[in-house]
Structure formats: C-alpha cells, structure tokens
Amino acid sequence: MPVVGPKEMFDRAYKEGYAVGAFNVNNMEIIQGIVAAAAEEQAPLILQVSAGARKYAGQTYIVKLVEAALAESDLPICLHLDHGPDFQLCKDCIDGGFTSVMIDGSHLPYAENIAVTRQVVEYAHARGVWVEAELGKLAGVEEHVSSEVSVYTDPDQAVDFVKRTGCDSLAIAIGTSHGAYKFTGEAKLDFDRLEKITGLMPGYPLVLHGASSVPQEFVDMGNKYGAKLGGAKGVPEDLLRRAAKLGVCKINIDSDIRLAMTANIRKYLAENPEKFDPRDYLKPARQAVKDMVRRKIKNVLGCSNKI
C-alpha cells in the first residue's frame, strides 16, 4: 500500500469525534514502535518529519523507512512534513513523496503568512498533496520554532485565513505549547475559543500542536537514572480527548515519545553497565515507544479500530 493523504482520515475523524495521531519520527526504532502500536490498534496513522529530523536522518532514509513500514503492515499511513519553515523545504518534500506538508508561517506578519501559505497550496494542490498551515503562536521551543509567549488564534481571522489561502487544515493556538515544559500552574485549554472556531468553520479539520502530556512516570524514571527534568509538565490527556470531540482531527505527539524512549535507555544502561551493543538498549526503547503510542491511540485520540 502506498502512502496516503489525510483527507479520508480527517473526514471520518470529524464525523465520529476522534483525532488521528501525528507522531514525529527520527529513526528506525521510533517508526517500528509507532507502526507496531497502530497495527495492533488498527488505527490510521500520520508519521511526521520535522525539518530537524529530515536533516538528521536524511529525507531518502526516512521515506524508505516509511515504505518498509508500509510493506510490513496494511495500515493507511500519511507521510507529513511538520513545521516546514519555507516554500523550498515544502516543495522538496512534496517532490520527494510526502503526501502532506505543513507550512509554518505563524511567526510572520499576517499578510506574509497568507502569501507563503498560498504559494505552498498552489504547488501542493497541483500535485495532489494536502497542506496544513498555522495561525496563532505557541509558546515553547521545538527545533527552529521558538516563542516566549502564546498568541491565541483569532476565530474570525481563522476564517479569513483559510478562505484566502485555501489550506486544507489549520493548526490553532488555544493553550498548548511546544516542548516538555508547557505549564507552571494549572493546565488549561481555551475550549470556548475552539468551539467558536469550529462553529465558524463546520466540518473543517483543526490541528493541535504541542500536545504531548509529559507522563510523569517517564520524567521520574529519567530523573532516577541521571536526567534533570524538573518541572516538566504537559497537557492532561482528558483535555486532549475533549478537543478531539470538538473538531480537532490531528493531534501532534513528539515529546512523550522522546521521554519514554530516553528514560528506558537510561534505565537499561544504568542497570547493565557492561552492555554496549545498541541493539540491547534500543529494543526496550522501541517497546516503550510502542506502549506509549498504544496508550495515546486508545485513551487520548480515540482512534482504535478506525480503519
């Protein structure tokens, strides 16, 4: 089965009140763990590649790993560029076989965000590729994406933006943030804002970035074995599940995978100091990724048995 676009995934997700997981990938073990979890849960899947992951692994390697995953499963898998910083990178990914790209112009003035998004849309749509854009600004740091403050998405501006750009889905800012240090106090999402956006654009797929929950068991495990993750705190899973019932069709998850994987590697190496074969410590790390993704599919996204 070839990689697919997300349209049919999102159409069903919107109608049935769940979200599709968009999991960031960087290497073989992460891809294997994610795909194994989705296969067991019979869940649709978006594997997404950031600009940093593309630079680290190489686009050809990533694409071939995804093709291998497709050959080993019967899952519908979408290959998506996460946070494309400019037209050229989006174009390179489209030309390289990606079925969905995100152009992130959220850091630009409004008119410039519209212009670059429209440029990507015109190129992508001529080649049958889906385009996600972003309006509003998330606090936190994720590779080249950095902001000290959040700028929540204006509902009326969202309508204008989608109309003028023709983007297929829109990442909105309602209180999530990038990275593992999302909240210092009580975690809150602006559901009134989300409901207004959904009401103004019925049937339109929305996206949540910065939606990792930062499970404390992995923070504690990492700290026990030498990490320094004091204050790491994410979005409660019940809030994400609620968002998935209100028009959010795609939820991005990255930090949770990193935490689960790294905590287990730290644990293994601390308990087995004589070991040096990467296969020994990457095996439990891969299992941790699988377990984490299954948990997200079942408890947060609600997309088990949706293929």
Give all domains of the chain, ordered by start, each with its CATH number. Answer: 7-213+228-254+289-301 (3.20.20.70)
Pairing of strands 77-84, 100-103: parallel
* For residues 248-260, average pLDDT: 96
Predicted local distance difference test score (pLDDT) of residue 144? 47
CA proximity to 129, closest of 81, 86, 66? 81
pLDDT (tens digit per residue) in 183-221:
456 678 999 999 999 999 999 999 999 888 888 999 999
Enter the DSSP assignment of 151.
B
pLDDT (tens digit per residue) in 263-307:
999 999 999 999 999 999 999 999 999 999 999 999 999 999 999
pTM of the prediction?
0.92
Q: Does position 180 have pLDDT exceeding 50, yes or no?
A: no
More confident residue, 287 or 150: 287
Enter the DSSP assignment of 296.
I
| Residue 130 main-chain phi, psi, to 5 deg | -75, 145
Helix, strand, coil fractions of the chain, as percent rounded to 5: 50, 15, 35
Q: Known catalytic residue: 95?
A: no
Predicted local distance difference test score (pLDDT) of residue 231? 75
Pairing of strands 248-253, 145-147: unpaired
- Single out the catalytic residue among 11, 74, 82, 104: 82
Q: How confident is the model at residue 178 (pLDDT cuts 50, 70, 90)?
A: low
